[in-house]
Structure 1
Amino acid sequence: TIDASYCDQATDRDFCALIEHELYHIGVERDEDGDPLISEMTGLPKHYLAGHDVEEFVGVVKRWGADESVKRLIEVAK
């Protein structure tokens, strides 16, 4: 969901980042060859709610270190 009150006060950069974040949650189901699965009912690609690339708590990373997904995020953020 997108909070209209947040969007109303967000900077253009923050608003665009939020929208892109939400769009990344749209996943397309694919077959074993990587081709999109098509709905027999609609004729359109089947979708699913994609999870985050990284789900972690700062406290866990602080105590136990970064796993590969966190390390990748750190590298991309540089």
Structure 2
Amino acid sequence: MWWLNVFFLINGVWTPGSQLEGWAPREYASEQECLERKSFAENECRLHPLKHASVWSCTFGEPAKEPPAPLGGAPC
């Protein structure tokens, strides 16, 4: 299984979405499906900016516990 993860830059610290209500990782059956949903999420962030910078990633096997490197973040 593939997982779509999000991390938010909060007070200078990359925080897993799983620590915030409503932002838990989502499971997908294939890498392609996860990448499509990642693209959708990133586009939605561009259209409807959130309060914090964010970075989205797909991981195989289990949800990510650490943000991907290198990490620059994207306005969201």
The bucket for the TM-score relative to the shorter chain is under 0.3
Higher strand share: 2
Higher relative contact order (CA 8 A, sep 6+): 2
Higher helix share: 1
- Which of structures 1 and 2 has the bigger CA Rg? 1
The TM-score with structure 1 as length reference comes to: 0.27
